[in-house]
Homo-oligomer: A and B are copies of this chain.
């Protein structure tokens, strides 16, 4: 077998000027510029396959995220590729376990997301080499191989490796039928496109109608800036969809614990199906208090949960009824496999966060893998869909009748078109670390 090596981490600071249209505006993020701290792992392999990945940010600070990715070049450039790809669990532990880099988190924020991007870029190479989309690559791995991907450090009091193995073995029968079903009918999505706070009521109503016409079975509204506005907007949306259609609301961390309870109570007559990010993403006990107070309305969170240790506690504390993983917030595919296994252990559905730029393309693979090989079900599970910026991706998200069409192209879905990378490079800079 030929030996190939990593020759460079190429990084690009990519920013889309979304703040000009108020796409993505919510109670905490009034004017995001959807951005990607983008990395290409280059190799000298004869197959010419590069690994693509990114960290999603909302503008300022994207350069800091890029520099964190560049700081990992010393760990990877010059190393043999095949051993890294063959033991992705060990590769993850090598990066996350660097004791000096670990001080900058540990396992949170800019440095942890940078590691996640590099890990995801390696998964992109691995999937492309296998000729499989990521969800399918993961679904061909044995339970033992999947468990080996997971770092159980700090998890064992909630999920031991043997328990993870049991979960995966229980889902082994039926993998093939579920993959077939997925390829035939896709994975259900819901749309947040109508709900941004910066939109007028007329635009809201038109987009809600469009969501129904498109076949979505749930929508989500942003809330939390002004209660009267929220009530008016919720009422208008409810009038369009009728009394039984699920409408989730998302406060984007805007509230204090007591405020969340009072605000949700004021919205309860409109029947929110879940309340998302009611308060600080770090406040596990706060989420638990809110969940107890607003039941049976459900609490959802996770797009800002920094790692598996936070998800573990949200589950242990009965703080969430919906786990919302994000493709690029944690340490990449490996840590999201841990998160899926935690959710399965606690019997909580995973409904990923997406939107932004490239997040739908990326995270759908985790839900599809979950269906085929972990939880074994799509019941009560939906992937967030936002109709932004898909045209920039080599394998754009495809929606049919409100469901995500299972991708069949090899890779993780995170590769952005070269033209788009060039067109949206911030200040024309392209950094090359080798």
Contacts and interface: CB of A to CB of B under 8 A. Distances in A.
A266 to B, nearest CB: 18
Contacts of A110: 64, 68, 104, 109-111
Interface stretch (A25-33, A168-176, A345-353, A358-366): A25-33
B32 A104 contact: no
Given A29-B99, A99-B58, A111 B111 contact: no
Contacts of A33: 100
A241 interface: no
A185 B98 CA distance: 42
Interface string A232-261: 000000000000000000000100111000
The 7 closest A-B pairs by CB, nearest first: A109-B109, A110-B110, A60-B100, A59-B100, A157-B257, A67-B67, A154-B280
Nearest to A279: B154
Nearest to A312: B283
Interface stretch (A76-84, A196-204, A303-311, A417-425): A303-311
Contact of A108 (B65, B114, B306): B306
**Most chain-B Cβ atoms within 10 A of its Cβ — which of A29, A59, A109?**
A109
Contacts of A428: none
Interface residues of A, number: 61
Interface string A32-58: 110000000000000000000000011
Contacts of A258: 156-157
B284 A307 contact: no
So how many copies of this chain end up in the complex? 2
A279 B313 CA distance: 14
Nearest to A290: B157
Contact of A286 (B105, B154, B304): B154
A61 interface: yes
Contact of A256 (B65, B98, B107, B157): B157
Contacts of A31: 99
Contacts of A59: 100
Contacts of A280: 106-107, 153-154, 309
B257 A282 contact: no
A183 B196 CA distance: 57
Given A61-B101, A280-B309, A282-B313, 11 more contacts: A28-B99, A29-B103, A33-B100, A58-B103, A60-B100, A60-B101, A67-B67, A109-B111, A110-B110, A154-B286, A286-B313
Interface string A338-358: 000000000000000000000
B282 A153 contact: no
Contacts of A212: none
Given A110-B110, A157-B289, A100 B61 contact: yes
Nearest to A254: B153
A102 interface: yes
A112 to B, nearest CB: 7
A307 B282 contact: yes
Contact of A99 (B30, B157, B286): B30
Contact of A64 (B57, B60, B98, B104): B104
**Most chain-B Cβ atoms within 10 A of its Cβ — which of A32, A64, A113, A286?**
A64
B256 A156 contact: yes
A153 B256 contact: yes
B71 A154 contact: no
Contacts of A105: 108-109
A213 B307 CA distance: 45
